């Protein structure tokens, strides 16, 4: 399949933009984010906005914004007609897999809180790449896996698996570096902060211990596994997309919105409800309407969570289907999206949030190995797409 230079480079640029948005849409829920974008409260603020407040509002915005955007692009008559004519089994499976993606997305929010945006993104995306790419191959062993293309892709996935190992080691060493700088908690007496010889503030002895490295890695793995079923929502909505194109004249580039009507709306709604439950259980609901900066946080969660998160999905869908084509979409678009997402997350965590300020040289070396093996593995996968 040939493709002209204009659509090809346009598709690559849109995919790059989607990757940047995908790697940075969660910055505002980090306490170390710049005040201009941060959507959680600074210390000492009355009725503080916490992670669950920002996540609840951001995902609520994502659900209604996506539903409105899809309805406008397709037309309310198209959405209603296609859904009415769809098979009940397909609708159930689309809803089910979208719900699983919603659980994975909430896990991703937890992952970036405990592991940082850089490592949380890299570890989760590594699992999504390996599992999400392997599943279609194993579903059709003779025609896909046992071919030159399939074996090349498997080789690339093995290299990507090495990226996961390097990233896990880097996270473990980062936790070690932080523990060394904080000093041994058992040596801190009286519950007050103590200045170590190196000039680093040691946390009080009674402060809660941070999660272990193993816990962080497990959360990222489970998150990646739960996010992977999203591709099955696309599989079972294929007949609906075809019906939208054939019966209602929807352009192929826009028919993906039929899938997003369910996937993003259900995912966003699921996350908003989980976060709302957490707020209710923790007795923090009143901050949603009592915090004096609630209007600012309401706007920030739309601008810095919902808008980039929903936009990157549509940008990648447009570039992969309409501009890159059936062959180059998976072969070029998917690897470019993942590499850009990981790179953006690592840069934001390193330069903007200071997540790696305490990292020693051997820790940074592991990060470089993780990035290099990810790029190499995805390049091999891309080559397999053309084999």
Q: What is the pLDDT of residue 106?
A: 96
For residues 162 and 151, give the distance between their C-alpha atoms in angstroms, rounded to a whole number: 17
Give how far Cα 156 sits from Cα of 136, 182, 330, 334, Å. 15, 39, 14, 13
Q: What is the pLDDT of residue 387?
A: 58
Q: Tell me, yes or no, whether 288 lies in a domain.
A: yes
Which segment of 93-102, 175-184, 258-267, 368-377 scores lowest on mean pLDDT?
175-184
Q: Tokens standing for 376? A: 């190499």
Q: Tell me, yes or no, whether 371 lies in a domain.
A: yes
> What is the per-residue pLDDT across 253-278, written as a single tens digit (0 to 9) for each?
788 899 999 999 999 999 999 999 99
Of the pLDDT bands very low, low, confident and very high (cuts 50, 70, 90), residue 138 is: low
For residues 205 and 144, give the distance between their C-alpha atoms in angstroms, rounded to a whole number: 56
Q: Tell me, yes or no, whether 188 lies in a domain.
A: no
Which segment of 79-88, 205-214, 284-293, 343-352 scores lowest on mean pLDDT?
205-214
- Tokens 């397909």 correspond to 90
The DSSP output letter for 33 is: S
Q: Tell me, yes or no, whether 78 lies in a domain.
A: yes
Query: What's the chain's average pLDDT?
Result: 83
> What is the per-residue pLDDT across 83-99, written as a single tens digit (0 to 9) for each?
999 999 999 999 999 99
Nearest to 22 by CA among 169, 230, 270, 299: 230
CB 218 within 8 A of CB 107: no
The domain of 306 spans 50-183+218-386
For residues 290 and 195, give the distance between their C-alpha atoms in angstroms, rounded to a whole number: 37
Q: Tell me, yes or no, whether 222 lies in a domain.
A: yes
For helices 294-301 and 51-74, what crossing angle results, to 10°?
50
Percent of the chain topping pLDDT 90: 41
> What is the per-residue pLDDT across 232-246, written as a single tens digit (0 to 9) for each?
888 899 899 999 999
Stated as kind and residue range, the H or E segment containing 20 is helix 5-24
For residues 367 and 172, give the distance between their C-alpha atoms in angstroms, rounded to a whole number: 11
Q: What is the pLDDT of residue 196?
A: 43
Q: Tell me, yes or no, whether 11 lies in a domain.
A: no
Q: Tell me, yes or no, whether 190 lies in a domain.
A: no
Q: Tell me, yes or no, whether 277 lies in a domain.
A: yes
Nearest to 126 by CA among 300, 377, 380: 377
Q: What is the pLDDT of residue 144?
A: 60
CB 353 within 8 A of CB 347: no
- Tokens 């959507």 correspond to 39
Largest CA distance in the chain: 73
Stated as kind and residue range, the H or E segment containing 201 is strand 201-202
Total count of domains within the chain: 1
> What is the per-residue pLDDT across 184-217, written as a single tens digit (0 to 9) for each?
444 444 444 444 434 444 444 445 677 888 999 9
Query: What 3-state DSSP class applies to 36?
Result: coil
**Burial bucket for residue 199 (CB in 10 Å: 0-12, 13-18, 19+):** exposed
Q: How many CB atoms lie within 10 A of CB 201?
A: 12
Q: What is the pLDDT of residue 224?
A: 92
Q: How far apart are the first and last CA of the chain?
A: 13
Q: How many CB atoms lie within 10 A of CB 357?
A: 10
Q: What is the pLDDT of residue 137?
A: 64
Q: Is the pLDDT of residue 343 over 90?
A: no
CB 158 within 8 A of CB 377: yes
Q: What is the pLDDT of residue 87?
A: 93
């Amino acid at each position: 399949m040939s493709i002209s230079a204009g659509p090809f480079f346009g598709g690559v640029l849109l995919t790059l933009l989607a990757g940047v948005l995908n790697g940075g849409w969660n910055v505002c829920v980090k306490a170390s984010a710049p005040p201009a974008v941060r959507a959680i409260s600074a210390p000492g603020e009355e009725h503080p906005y916490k992670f669950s407040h920002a996540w609840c509002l951001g995902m609520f915005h994502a659900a209604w914004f996506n539903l409105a955007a899809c309805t406008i692009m397709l037309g309310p008559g198209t959405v209603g007609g296609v859904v009415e004519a769809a098979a009940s089994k397909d609708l159930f499976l689309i809803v089910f897999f979208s719900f699983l993606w919603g659980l994975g997305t909430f896990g991703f929010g937890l992952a970036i809180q405990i592991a940082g945006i850089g490592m949380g993104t890299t570890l989760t995306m590594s699992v999504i790449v390996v599992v999400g790419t392997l599943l279609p191959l194993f579903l059709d062993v003779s025609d896909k896996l046992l071919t030159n293309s399939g074996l090349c892709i498997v080789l690339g996935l093995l290299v990507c698996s090495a990226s996961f190992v390097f990233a896990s080691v880097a996270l473990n060493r980062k936790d070690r570096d932080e523990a060394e700088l904080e000093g041994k908690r058992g040596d801190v007496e009286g519950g007050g902060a103590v200045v170590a010889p190196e000039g680093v503030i040691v946390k009080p002895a009674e402060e809660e211990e941070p999660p272990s490295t193993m816990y962080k890695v497990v959360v990222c793995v489970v998150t990646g596994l739960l996010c992977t079923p999203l591709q099955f929502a696309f599989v079972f909505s294929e007949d609906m997309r075809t019906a939208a194109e054939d019966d209602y004249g929807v352009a192929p580039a826009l028919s993906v919105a039929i899938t997003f009507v369910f996937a993003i709306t259900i995912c966003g709604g699921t996350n908003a409800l989980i976060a709302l439950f957490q707020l209710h259980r923790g007795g923090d609901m009143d901050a949603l309407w009592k915090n004096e900066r609630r209007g600012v946080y309401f706007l920030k969660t739309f601008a810095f969570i919902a808008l980039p998160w929903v936009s990157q999905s549509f940008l990648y869908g447009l570039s992969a289907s309409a501009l890159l084509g059936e062959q180059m979409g998976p072969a070029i678009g998917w690897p470019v999206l993942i590499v850009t997402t990981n790179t953006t997350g690592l840069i934001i965590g390193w330069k903007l949030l200071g997540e790696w300020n305490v990292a020693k040289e051997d820790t940074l070396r592991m990060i470089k190995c993780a990035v290099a093996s990810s790029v190499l593995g995805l390049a091999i996968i891309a080559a397999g797409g053309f084999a």
